[in-house]
Every structure is written in structure tokens, then in C-alpha cells.
Amino acid sequence: MTLLNIENLTVSFPQHDGVVQAVRGVSLRVSPGESIGIVGESGSGKSVTCMAALRLLREPPSRIVADRLELGGVDMLRAGRTQLAAVRGRIAAMVFQDPMTAFDPVFTIGHQIVETIRAHRDLSKSAATTEAAALLARVEIKTPDAILNSYPHQLSGGMLQRAMIAMALSCRPQILFADEPTTALDVTIQAQILHLIKQLQAELGMALIMVTHDLGVVAETVDRVVVMYGGRVMETAPVQDIFDAPLHPYTQALMASMPGRTPGKQRLIEIAGASPNPANPPTGCPFHPRCAVADAQCAAEAPAFRALSESRAAACWRLA
Amino acid sequence: MSAPKPRSPLYFAWRRFADNKAALVAGAILLLIILMAIFAPLISKTGYADQKFLTQAYAFPQAEFWFGVDDLGRDFFTRIVYGARVSLTIGFTAAAFSLLIGIPLGAIAGYYGGRADWCVMRLIELFSVVPPLLAAMLLGALTNGGFATIVLIAALFGWVQVCLLVRAQVKAIAQKEFVRAAQALGATPGYIIRRHLIPNAISPIIVGFVLAIPLAMMLEASLSFLGIGVPPPIPSWGQMINVGMNFMYFYWHLAVFPTAALAITVLATTLFGDGLRDALDPTLKGR
């Protein structure tokens, strides 16, 4: 059974002077309980892919086209407003990058968690409040009752992100989208939050999609990695293989530019060039202008995404 | 981690409001006028239409008749106090109806944007280009005035301001991440509008409400002055000004008191509303 099934997803934003293609033909399957990391640089389409999966993008201005976009058996492209609302929170939930802005400033944390619980489950207010306190305890908040009565501006970022995770888990989703959940937090809190997410994922048996540009985050939390570049999936592989034996030239370049792999002081290795302009992407493989092994074929035609072994797949002419 | 006892945003708003002396005094005067209107039967010795003092008609203000006696032998203080009832009731109901029309339309236009926004904006333009008094006169003449008509007309022209305020606020808040977070956790558009957007827009709504009141009161006074507003013998300040104008050179009190009552009430409400706006929107830099 597949929990999330995306086939050939394209997300574009028509502008006055052309079309910005944020996502270009992405396919992704996630099984229950599986944890997946989507990595890529800014503008590679990783966040937009998740937003599109939940239909959270405003349409217009965005345009979402896909051969298939199913979440928990619901056809997200055909689902109406009420059906979407039922899927969001119940089947899939999302944790955002900046916890400071993810809560409504005029209500207490408790009010917001209770409202979320009651939106999906038929519980009395007091039962929902008890449940909310239990959820906060579950995300390792020491004084749940004090936090329930706090307004968002009274809490630290780490505390709010914990509360956000508690709120996202309040209706026991089968899949959790975490869109750079630690980017806005400082490093010591990052590790705690990642550990918490991983632990809850294992305990609750839910699937996890971790969107990040931090390879360290990926290494710590997920089983399988999807590498995106220029709105396309470049490579997908088990997390161990991505680090030990990357196949795609982009993944290889990415790994080579990761700081701190070898001890000692040294210059950072970078990938020459800049990421493609989504309004005017290069023809063929999006990575070919920066690729060391590209040739005329790479510039002319985009490589298909092909399975290379049972667990690995990549889109590159050099890998046959 | 122990959070300090949460102080509600209202507490801070009150502190800021109390710093504004003009608004504070205006609020106190407004409260006094409201109390007088509510307890009118207790502080006046006759009914508003009782011609008990016909022999003393036109009497100047004195100990027995604070504001004198009018041309038809009625205690003028009583008339002014009951006039506050009419003025305030019309002001408040019209403002309430303005909210009733303005909030949903503003929220829909701001949240959905696109075609809904276009339609609401054209509707607003339609109401902005028609001079309210002319339209009010036409409607008033067609329906012979009366309480309900005045409220309706005032609301019909008062909602525009409320709608614009709400629309702007909703448009800004709808971009915030917490709205998307609510969507991601399964909130429907109606829920988001009701539970996130309108509570976050409550400050402009309150201000819009208070500032709609003097507009409605002025409209009522204007219509009553022209004779198509509240029908006699129900006392209305506008109507009293119209009558008092005729005697202005001989019996000044008949014109001065209703004018002063209207001016003070409208001024107090406006100052109060301005103070509220400054108190509820701390980001707004001082005058």
C-alpha cells in the first residue's frame, strides 16, 4: 500500500513574462511508516512539492498538474474543500520552518491545540484540553499546563516548535511533512527537535517527509533520501548509500562540498555556477551547465528517471 | 520554564488609552451621555411630549427649567435628554448594521481575492460616488422617513469604511504563516475567516464601529433637520435645531442647546474612536 503517491507532478506559477516552473515532473511514493528526506538547494522545488501534495498552494497563482496525486487514498486533485480539510490534519500534517509565525498571536497555545483536536475529533472541551496537555508532555515539555495558557510571543522558538509538533500530531496523522523544522532554531535545540521527531515517528509508526537543505539533518533522521535540483528529482537512494556511494554527479558534488568530512582547516569546496533560474531553466538536464561530465546529449535532452537497482534510481545519461 | 502570568492584550490597550487624556475625557462624556439616555425617565420630570408648561412657553433657562421651555410648553431639558436616546440608538444600531454588512464582505474580499474582491470593490465604489445625503433624502422622501429607514440608510453608507478596514487587515493576515499552518491541519476557509482572520482584525473592527456612530448621528440630525427624519413629537436634535433656528434671535436657548448636545456627542464619539484606534494599534506612530 502506498500512502503518498505522486506521479509526474508539475507546479508552475504563470507570470506576466513567462512561466516559473517550480516543480517539473516529480514522482514520489511513500509507504506507511517510511521516513524520507527531500534535500536540495533553495529553489529546487522541495517545499513546493510538499505544499502541492497537500494542495496548500493558492491556485491561482499556482498551477498544479499531475498524472496522479494521492494522499491516503484520496485523489487530492479532485478533492473538494471539505474533503481536503478532512485529509489535512487527519491523514497528513505539516510542521513549518518558523514556529514563531506558525501560531496565531491572539490565542493561547492551548486554545489553538484544543481547536485543532476538536476540528477533527468529537471531544468535549475539557477532554480536548486534557489531551492537549498529554500531547505537550509527549513532546517533552515539562510544564504542559503553563504552556497551554501561554501566548506564542511568551515562548522560545524551541518551545514553540515542540508545541507545533504536538499540534500537528494531535489528530494522529499517518504522514508528517516537516518543512525545514529546525532551520529557524539554534543548533543545540535543532538536535533535540530532530531527535524528538525521529522518536515520535518510530513510536507512532507514521511516515515522515523531512524537507531540508541540511545533509546532517537527513543523515540523522531518515531512511531514504530524495535529491532534488531545478524542480526535478536527481537521485533517490537509502541514506547510507547517498553518503557512501552517491551516483548522480550532482549528489557527488553535493557530498564533496559538505564541510567537515575530513579533519583540518581547508577551503570549502563549492559547485561552480549558480542554481538554475526557474523562469528560464536550461534545456536538457537542469544540472548540465555545472556538471563536470556533461556533454551535448545532456544539454539537448533531459535524462529520464530510471531505476538503477532495487533501491536506487537516478536521472543521468552517464548512469546506464 | 514558568511563563509570567499572561496579561491580555486588552490590558496593554487600556494602558495606552489611559495615556490619551483627550480620549479619556471624551470617553467619560460619552459614558455620561449614554447613562443619561438610558435613565432618561428618572432624571426628567415629565414625558418628552407632555405640554405641561404651556403658560411658560419660551421660558429662558432657570432653576426650574434647566434648559428652559420650548415653544409648545415642553421642558427643554427633558427633550434634549430624550433626544440623546434617539441619536445614540440610531448611531449604535446603524454602526452595528454597518459591521453586519462590512465584516463578511470585507473578509470575503480580503481572503478569497480575485473575482470576489473585484465585485466587492466595485460595489464599494458605487456607494462612494453617491453623495450620502442626497441618496438619503431620496430614500427618506420615498419612504416618509422614520427610524428604520434612517438606520438602513446610515448602515448602507457606513459599511463601506468598515469593509475597507476589514479587507485590508484580512488581506495582510491571510499571508501569515499561521493561516497556512491552520490550513495544513485541516481548517476550512470558513473556520479560518471566523477564528483567525476576524479575531486578528478585531482592532480595526472596533474602531470602524465607533467611528461609524458619529456619521450615523450626523445623518440622522441632517435628515431630521430637513424634516424627513424622525417624525415629531419624538425628540430629535436635528429636528429641534430646525425649530429653534426660527426663534434664534429671541429665544437663543431653543437653538443653542440641541446644537451643543449634537456637537458634544459627535465630538466625544469621534475623539473616543480616535483614542481607541491609537490604543489598539500600537504600531501606529503618534499624531
What is the DSSP annotation of B234-268? Answer: S--HHHHHHHHHHTTTT-THHHHHHHHHHHHHHHH
Convert the pLDDT of each residue in A150-203 to its tens digit. 888 888 888 888 888 888 888 888 899 988 888 877 888 888 888 888 888 888
CA distance, residue A318 to nearest chain B CA (Å): 40
Helix (H, G, I), strand (E, B) or coil at B75: strand
The reply to whether omega before A61 is within 30° of 0 (cis) is yes
**CA separation for the pair B122, A94 (Å, rounded):** 38
Do B178 and A89 count as a contact with CB atoms less than 8 A apart?
no
Reported confidence tier of residue B50, pLDDT bands at 50, 70, 90 = confident
A200-209, A231-240, B4-13, B159-168, range with the lowest pLDDT = B4-13
Do B3 and A155 count as a contact with CB atoms less than 8 A apart?
yes
**CA separation for the pair A112, A167 (Å, rounded):** 8
Question: Quick check: is A78 in a domain?
Answer: yes
Average pLDDT over residues B146-166: 85
Convert the pLDDT of each residue in B213-267 to its tens digit. 888 888 888 888 887 777 777 888 888 888 888 888 888 777 888 888 889 889 9
Do A120 and B195 count as a contact with CB atoms less than 8 A apart?
no
Question: Quick check: is A37 in a domain?
Answer: yes
Nearest CA in chain A to B180: A56
In this predicted structure, the answer to whether residue A310 has a pLDDT above a threshold of 70 is yes
Cβ atoms < 10 Å from Cβ of B128 = 13
Mean per-residue pLDDT over chain A, rounded: 84
Residue B100 has a pLDDT of 92
Question: Quick check: is A127 in a domain?
Answer: no
In this predicted structure, the answer to whether residue B49 has a pLDDT above a threshold of 90 is no
Residue A320 has a pLDDT of 64
Residue B122 has a pLDDT of 93
Residue with cell 498538474: A65
Residue B6 has a pLDDT of 60
What secondary structure, in 3-state letters, does chain A show?
Answer: CCCEEEEEEEEEEEECCEEEEEEEEEEEEECCCCEEEEECCCCCCHHHHHHHHCCCCCCCCCEEECCEEEECCEECCCCCHHHHHHHHHHCEEEECCCCCCCCCCCCCHHHHHHHHHHHHCCCCHHHHHHHHHHHHHHCCCCCHHHHHCCCHHHCCHHHHHHHHHHHHHCCCCCEEEEECCCCCCCHHHHHHHHHHHHHHHHHHCCEEEEEECCHHHHHHHCCEEEEEECCEEEEEEEHHHHHHCCCCHHHHHHHHCCCCCCCCCCCCCCCCCCCCCCCCCCCCCCCHHHCCCCCHHHHHCCCCCEECCCCCEECCCCCC
Residue B176 has a pLDDT of 84
Reported confidence tier of residue B105, pLDDT bands at 50, 70, 90 = very high
A16-20, A200-204, A263-267, range with the lowest pLDDT = A263-267
Suggest the residue from B12, B175, B185 to mutate for an interface test with chain A (most A CBs closer than 10 A): B185
Residue A253 has a pLDDT of 85
Kindly list the structural domains of chain B, giving each domain's residue range(s) and its CATH number in brackets, ordered by start.
Answer: 12-280 (1.10.3720.10)
In this predicted structure, the answer to whether residue B286 has a pLDDT above a threshold of 70 is no
Do B3 and A150 count as a contact with CB atoms less than 8 A apart?
yes
Provide, rounded to the nearest whole percent, the portion of chain A with pLDDT above 70: 99
Question: Quick check: is A209 in a domain?
Answer: yes
Residues in chain A: 320
Suggest the residue from B11, B12, B118, B178 to mutate for an interface test with chain A (most A CBs closer than 10 A): B178
Provide, rounded to the nearest whole percent, the portion of chain B with pLDDT above 90: 9
Average pLDDT over residues A291-304: 81
In this predicted structure, the answer to whether residue B3 has a pLDDT above a threshold of 60 is no
Reported confidence tier of residue A261, pLDDT bands at 50, 70, 90 = low
Q: What is the residue type of A215?
A: L
Q: Are B67 and B245 a contacting pair, CB within 8 Å?
A: no
Q: What CATH code is carried by the domain that includes residue A19?
A: 3.40.50.300
Q: Are A289 and A230 a contacting pair, CB within 8 Å?
A: no
Helix (H, G, I), strand (E, B) or coil at B52: coil
Question: Quick check: is A162 in a domain?
Answer: no
| CA atoms lying within 13 Å on the CB side of residue B233 | 13
Closest partner residue to A94 (CB to CB) among B3, B4, B184 is B184
Task: Provide the pairing of β-strand A63-65 with A4-15.
Answer: antiparallel
Beta bridge partners of A68: A7
Do A159 and B199 count as a contact with CB atoms less than 8 A apart?
no
Measured over all CA atoms, what is the biggest interatomic distance in chain B, rounded to whole angstroms? Answer: 78
Helix (H, G, I), strand (E, B) or coil at B69: strand
Phi/psi of residue A8, each to 5°? Answer: 55, 55
Average pLDDT over residues A35-44: 86
Domain tally, chain A: 1
Residues in chain B: 287
Question: Quick check: is A272 in a domain?
Answer: yes
Q: Are A309 and A227 a contacting pair, CB within 8 Å?
A: no
Question: Quick check: is A24 in a domain?
Answer: yes
Do B178 and A101 count as a contact with CB atoms less than 8 A apart?
yes
Do A143 and B182 count as a contact with CB atoms less than 8 A apart?
no
Q: Which residue has the higher pLDDT, B139 or A111?
A: A111
Helix (H, G, I), strand (E, B) or coil at B275: helix
Residue B234 has a pLDDT of 80
Average pLDDT over residues A276-297: 81
Reported confidence tier of residue B285, pLDDT bands at 50, 70, 90 = very low
Reported confidence tier of residue A298, pLDDT bands at 50, 70, 90 = confident
ipTM of the complex: 0.76
| CA atoms lying within 13 Å on the CB side of residue A300 | 4
Distance of CA B37 to the CA centre of its chain: 15
Q: Which structural domain, as residue segments, surrounds residue A260?
A: 4-91+173-314
Question: Quick check: is A260 in a domain?
Answer: yes
CA distance, residue B6 to nearest chain A CA (Å): 6
Sign of CA dihedral A118, A123, A129, A131: negative
Alpha helices in B130-201 (DSSP H): 132-143, 147-174, 177-184, 189-192, 198-200
Q: Touching check for A146 and chain B: CB below 8 Å?
A: yes
Convert the pLDDT of each residue in B264-284 to its tens digit. 889 998 889 888 888 877 565
Mean per-residue pLDDT over chain B, rounded: 82
Average pLDDT over residues A224-228: 90
Q: Which residue has the higher pLDDT, A62 or B7?
A: A62
Phi/psi of residue B73, each to 5°? Answer: 75, 30
Q: Which residue has the higher pLDDT, A226 or B72?
A: A226
In this predicted structure, the answer to whether residue B20 has a pLDDT above a threshold of 50 is yes
What is the pTM for the complete model shown? 0.75
Residue B96 has a pLDDT of 92
